[in-house]
């Protein structure tokens, strides 16, 4: 015996719906050894053809599509919980996951769910502010600074404790798409892996 303490890494589930560039940032940072206290153990999408699923498969992470029927969202969450229990998931990352989780589900992971939002919360956040819409509203209002926020998820949309924020300048000639790209590159892909490592460390 060397007396070395074997610590278990926090097992992470990432929920996605789309392109999965934030998931990719997490995969890359884990590979680089920048998330030493966590391990991405499961990726779940509520969209069958999400590119994020392909990214996970390429990284050899179990990647599963679960159909989410609007009329019966409980079914989705029950399947999700079952899979998470099987994989002994400790924390959940919402990385471009475009559905709202119920208070019931959130109660299973108190202070253990993080979300990335593409604005400086509380600005441009809450119901209706998601994806490209956030950047359209930012440009409409003419603010000079926007950014991204990683926050804990509670039952209020975008209302949980703020963990990390980073500001990004809005340029004169920005389109919603160019702004979205810069917010991702300069803020989201930097903040999310950092926040995930911080929480994984806290859990461990
Ligand atoms: C990101 O801007 C994220 O903040 C928002 O949706 C987008 C998802 O992008 N919630 P991706 O799927 O990670 O590429």
Contact partners, residue 7, CB within 8 Å, separation at least 6? 37, 204
In tens, the pLDDT along 79-127 reads 999 999 999 999 999 999 988 899 999 999 999 999 999 999 999 999 9
Residues 34, 39, 108, 117: which is the catalytic one?
A: 117
Catalytic (active site) residue 117: yes
Q: Is the CB of 118 under 6 A from ligand 1?
A: yes
CA angle 9, 44, 136 (to 5 degrees): 110
Confidence at residue 51, expressed as pLDDT on a 0 to 100 scale: 98
Q: Cα–Cα distance between 105 and 189 in angstroms, integer?
A: 26
Question: What mean pLDDT is reported for the chain?
Answer: 95
Nearest-CA neighbor of 40 among 102, 4, 90, 97?
Answer: 90
The band of 2, judged by pLDDT with boundaries at 50, 70 and 90, is low
- Note the pTM of the prediction, 2 decimals: 0.94
How far does residue 118's CA lie from ligand 1's centre (Å)? 8
**In angstroms, how far is CA 121 from the centroid of its own chain?**
15
Q: What values do phi and psi take at 48, rounded to 5?
A: -60, -40
Tell me which residue has its CA closest to atom 9 in ligand 1.
96
Instruction: Say if residue 7's pLDDT is above 90.
Output: no
> Measured from the CB, is residue 197 less than 6 Å from ligand 1?
no
Work out the number of other CB atoms within 10 angstroms of the CB of residue 74.
11
Is residue 147 within 6 Å of ligand 1 at its C-beta? no
CA distance 134 to 59: 30
Q: How many residues does the chain have?
A: 204
Q: How far is the CA of 19 from the centre of ligand 1 (A)?
A: 7
Per-residue model confidence (pLDDT) at position 4: 62
């Amino acid at each position: 015996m060397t007396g070395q303490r074997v610590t278990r890494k926090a097992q992470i589930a990432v929920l996605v719906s789309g392109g999965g560039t934030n998931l990719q940032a997490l995969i890359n940072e884990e590979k680089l050894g920048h998330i030493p206290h966590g391990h991405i153990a499961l990726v779940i999408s509520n969209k069958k053809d999400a590119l994020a699923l392909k990214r996970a498969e390429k990284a050899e992470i179990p990647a599963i599509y679960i159909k989410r029927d609007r009329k019966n969202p409980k079914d989705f969450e029950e399947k999700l919980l079952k899979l998470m229990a099987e994989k002994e998931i400790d924390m959940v990352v919402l990385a471009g996951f475009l559905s709202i989780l119920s208070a019931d589900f959130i109660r299973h992971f108190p202070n253990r769910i993080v979300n990335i939002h593409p604005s400086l919360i509380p600005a441009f956040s809450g119901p209706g502010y998601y994806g490209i819409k956030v950047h359209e509203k930012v440009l409409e209002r003419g603010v000079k600074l926007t950014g991204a926020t990683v926050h804990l998820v509670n039952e209020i949309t975008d209302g949980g404790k703020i963990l990390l924020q980073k500001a990004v300048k809005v340029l004169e000639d920005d389109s919603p798409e160019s702004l979205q790209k810069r917010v991702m590159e300069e803020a989201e892909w930097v903040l999310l892996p950092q926040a995930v490592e911080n929480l994984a460390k806290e859990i461990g």
